[in-house]
Each structure stands twice: as C-alpha cells, then as structure tokens.
Amino acid sequence: MPADPRAVLTRPAPAPDATVAYGDHPDQVADLRRPAGDGPARPLVVVVHGGFWRAEYDRSHTGPMAAALAALGHPVAQVEYRRTGQPDGGWPHTLTDVLAGVAALPRLAAAELPGRVAGVPPILVGHSAGGHLALYVAAHAPETVGGVLALAPVADLAEAYRLDLDSGAVAALLGGGPADVPDRYATADPSALVPIRVRSVVIHGTQDRQVPVAISRSWVAAARAAGSPATLVELPECEHFGLIAPDSAAWPRVLDALRSLHDDLPGIDAASPSR
C-alpha cells in the first residue's frame, strides 16, 4: 500500500538550532537551522509554510524539509506568522507578518549563525499558501527577496475563491470574495500583482488535488507575458505534499530549482550545495 503523502505533515524532525523573534507577537518568530559543515556563507533560505493560512497548520511540518536543506549547507529559517482562526489572524496581519519576517530574518540569522549567512537577500521557498505569501512579498518588497521557489502556490486568490479551495480558505484570509473586498484582492492576489521582478520558479504536480496545477499554469503565463522572470516546472507523477518531502521522487527537482536560484544571485559562488 502506498505511503500517505500527508505523512510529511506530522513527521518528526530535529529541533532547530535557535528561534528568533522578528516582532512582539508570539507567532512573529522563526526557527533557524545551521548549515552543515564549514562551507562559505550562503544566502539564507526562508521556508514559508502552507496550510491554507489556517491556525491548525504551523511551521513544524516544514521541519523535515528545512533540516534536509540545512544538511546540504543552506542556512534556513522557518518563518511563522499569524493565521486565520487566531486573534489578529487573516487580513492584513498574515500578509504583513511575512513581509516583516522576510525583511528582518537575514540580519537575525546572521547574528545567530555568524559567518554562515551571505549578505544578500534571501531565497524564499513557499509551499501552497506559503507560495502565495512568498509571491506576495516578492511583489511588494522585491528588494528584500533574492528569488522565489513557489511549490504548488495559491497564485490566484480570485480563482481559488471561485473554486472554494479548502472550504472557504481565501474568504477566511481576506474577509470575503472579490466582489466583497476588491481592494484586498488587488493588494494580496499574485494574479493582480504581475509583473513581479524577482526571479520565480514555480513547481507544481499535475496530480495535485489541493491546488490545481491550472492555477500555476495561468499565473506563470500571465507573469511571463507581463515581463516577469518566471518559470513553470510541472511534475506529472507528483501530488501536493511530495514537494516538501525530502524522501519523495519530486525532491531532486526542488533542489535543482533552488540551486538555479542560488547560483543566479550576484556575488555568489556557483558551486552551490550538492544533493
């Protein structure tokens, strides 16, 4: 019997090396993981977790992914943020928390991991709703982002609302549909924010039942038409959760995309961490 792809959501991982706060709220924190070995300083990788922005999903389920990236020599931060179902979660704090975290984490990580974090903007790796948040940050604060790896992102909030993904998740985030709160969609929806000038690689499995691959296809097509440096990688045998599971068949493709973003950053040695 095949393994349950959702098992990655509850898989244990080594404890982080440190937890830092980027704000005063208990959820304005990030777990840091020290890169293995004694290699050169490298760009911080900020992992933005998914879970349709809901309180029941937190950064802990990205622990295996973050630990695997650290084992390859990347300094890693798993950023947390306020989520729907919590006081102050949803609009606007879910979005502004990630903006603030991404801006602050390179400095905080460099202080905790001396000599291991390069002085360049971080690479954001966002999964599902975290992919939406990574694209949102890249659109609104491109100077704070070195590249985006969006894994099955909810890249079109209006379409996700129309499809009622995760039983009203977008309405819970923004407080209604596009006709109810159009200004919020104009601010928060990546489909309304192109062109995004930060290089973005989108990876999406064609067997994804949580976020249809058509959302990524249409977003990347629109982004490229507007002049965004965006690329789509489709994985025909992949579902939603394999993209964050280090033991999955999809994982080498995730690493290839991360490597390409890493090597494109100015001043970074192209001899990036190996598999």
Mean pLDDT over 114-133 rounds to 98
Confidence of residue 274 (pLDDT cuts 50, 70, 90): very low
Which residue segments constitute the domains of the chain, with CATH numbers given? 5-263 (3.40.50.1820)
Cα distance between residue 110 and residue 117, in whole Å: 5
3-state secondary structure of 275: coil
Mean pLDDT over 123-131 rounds to 98
For 128, left (φ over 0), alpha (ψ -120 to 50), or beta? left
Q: Which of 139, 239, 241 is nearest to 197 (CA)?
A: 139
Q: HSE of 247 in the Cβ direction (CA atoms, 13 Å)? A: 8
Cα distance between residue 160 and residue 94, in whole Å: 17
Q: What share of the chain is helix, strand, coil (3-state, %, to 5)?
A: 40, 15, 45
Cα distance between residue 195 and residue 193, in whole Å: 6
pLDDT value for 31 = 98
31 bridge partner residues: 19, 78
Tokens of 126: 């966002």
Instruction: Give the number of other CB atoms < 10 A from CB of residue 232.
Output: 18
Confidence of residue 59 (pLDDT cuts 50, 70, 90): very high
Query: In terms of pTM, does the model score above 0.85?
Result: yes
pLDDT tens per residue across span 81-109: 999 999 999 999 999 999 999 999 999 99
Question: Torsions phi, psi of 252, nearest 5?
Answer: -60, -30
Mean pLDDT computed over every residue of the chain: 95
Mean pLDDT over 27-55 rounds to 97
DSSP label of 2: P
Instruction: Give the number of other CB atoms < 10 A from CB of residue 162.
Output: 12
Per-residue pLDDT at 125 exceeds 90: yes
Distances (CA, A) of 35 to 62, 69, 73, 204, 245: 16, 8, 4, 27, 19
Residue predicted with more confidence, 39 or 200: 200
Residue type, 261: L
